[in-house]
């Protein structure tokens, strides 16, 4: 009887990792897009304001991914 209850208890305690998968996929897509843009345009980012924007957006995606990883662990 106990063998039948243990898998059910494990399923109830498991949290959804969807937030981590979405945030990780967005971060990976951003990295690929930024890499492609950097290879095709030598002047990327084009100015200090754009550079700070790219760094800020990247940091936001990294923080979101790390937070989702910790929360869904």
SS3 letters across the chain: CHHHHHHHHHHHHCCCCHHHHHHHHHHHHHHHHHHHHHHHCCCCCCCHHHHHHHHHHHHHHHHHHHHHHHHCC
* pTM for the predicted model, two decimal places: 0.76
The pLDDT tens digits along the chain (73 residues) read: 556 555 655 566 678 999 999 999 999 999 999 999 999 998 888 899 999 999 999 999 999 999 999 999 8
Which residue range forms the structural domain that includes residue 48? Answer: 15-71
Does residue 44 lie within any of the structural domains? yes
Does residue 4 lie within any of the structural domains? no
Number of domains in the chain: 1
Does residue 2 lie within any of the structural domains? no
């Amino acid at each position: 009887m106990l063998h039948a209850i243990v898998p059910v208890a494990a399923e109830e305690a498991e949290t959804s990792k969807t937030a981590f998968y979405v945030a990780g996929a967005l971060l990976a897509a951003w990295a690929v897009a930024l890499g492609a843009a950097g290879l095709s345009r030598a002047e990327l980012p084009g100015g200090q304001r754009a550079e700070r924007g790219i760094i800020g957006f990247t940091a936001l995606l990294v923080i979101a991914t790390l937070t989702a990883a910790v929360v869904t662990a």
